[in-house]
Chains A and B, each alone.
Chain A
Amino acid sequence: MSDAPITESELQAYADGRLEPKRRMAVEAWLAAHPEEAERIADYRKIAKELRSIYDPVISESLPPRFLRKRVHWKRYALVAGWTVVGFLIGAAAGWELNESRPALAPAADMGAAMARRAAIAHATYSPEVRHPVEVGADQEAHLMAWLSKRLGAPLRAPQLEEVGYSLVGGRLLPGDTSPVAHFMYQTQKGARITLYVRTDVAGNRETAFRYAEEGKVRVFYWVDRRMGYALSSGDIGKDELLKVANTVYQQLNP
């Protein structure tokens, strides 16, 4: 076998360091007898090394935020929700499929107040829970984030709020008006709870100011950042402290 003639493919594989030892030795012996070919293969290796030295640094460049804030595609939700929810979604998906146009998204203008209200309701519903405050606990954070990212169609991160005294309890998936919503719960050592409501289907918007709403006893700071909508709710802490946490959340999400 090692006496078989050397093929060009084997020379390429040799340049890539991918030959098994027996053939590698055969190629080396052959190259020793063919110095011009040996030079050619050495040049290939030099080119490969240069290529890596030029482009490998790209790997460690920080990613532009736009890569991580994905537009939500209707089609996915139509597939997920179409069977159980409304035929209208299927219509939207079909339209999207046909013209590949930008999907219709919730208009930002009237969306903020509605989002704050939904977030407050979710907060009021789940934060008093003792046994089932979340669907997936912080002990399975990686699974939680992967699951919610998949269902929302965008890579999500749960902010780390230890520095302001809150640790992650966990999260759950909630229905939203056009697509699923992620809901994270945090609490202090004394048991004060806040929840972060995250939706990914907001129409393009540059407004990133915090807005404030009160729904009953629940205080909510909410904001829109590109296609993401956030609402931070609490019934346990005052407006000022909640704003402080909201600032931390915002900074964590926009490093």
Chain B
Amino acid sequence: MNEAQRLVDLIPRLRRYARALVGDRATADDLVQDTLERAWAKLHLYRRGTDLRAWLFTVMHNVHVNRVRAARPTDLIDDEMPELAQRAAQGDALLVRDLDRSIARLPAEQRAVLLLVTLEEMSYEEVAHTLDVPIGTVMSRLSRAREKLRTMMLGQSAAAAKQLKLVK
């Protein structure tokens, strides 16, 4: 199959990654759009026989980094940010909403690694290649991303438990 068609076939996956990376749908779709425009323009630079998916996700990564830089100077993580656990939802819904919000609070480079490993199921080598970092960096970012997320979730669970007690 020709790479133009393969590129089109990859759009839904790009979109999934973008949604998890930037959170809201409109911004994510804009990111996909910018990525596709760049990818079409650069397709002649893609080397046949190499990994088109890695190439395309690299394009998205670069577009994303540029967009974030242009939009705001910092992609900050604030571990001290108080949790506002006011939602009435319970059980799984609570976890889901907390998780996508928590993802957004990860440092961008850790978030990218975690999402490429978890959603795209890229090998660690492919992630290293896509993000152009050493594999050791991939492993340490993955480890830190997971631990940070877990800590946030545990903190939220504790906060939620406290709130339930207050309601009683």
Contact = CB atoms under 8 A, between A and B. Distances in A.
A47 B150 contact: yes
B36 A51 contact: no
Q: Main SS of the interface on chain B?
A: helix
B119 A51 contact: yes
A21 B3 CA distance: 36
A145 to B, nearest CB: 7
Given A47-B149, A155-B8, A143 B2 contact: yes
Interface size class of A (residues with CB under 8 A): 35 or more
A73 B40 contact: yes
A154 interface: yes
Interface string A62-74: 0110111011010
Interface of A: 8-9, 12-13, 15-16, 18, 40, 43-44, 47-48, 50-56, 58-61, 63-64, 66-68, 70-71, 73, 75-76, 79, 142-143, 145-147, 149-150, 153-155
Most chain B CB within 10 A, of A40, A44, A63, is at A44
B44 A76 contact: yes
Given A47-B99, A58-B19, A64-B29, A70 B146 contact: no
22 contacts: A8-B143, A12-B143, A15-B146, A40-B147, A40-B150, A44-B146, A44-B150, A47-B99, A47-B149, A47-B153, A51-B103, A54-B99, A58-B12, A59-B12, A59-B16, A60-B12, A63-B12, A67-B11, A67-B36, A142-B1, A154-B40, A155-B4
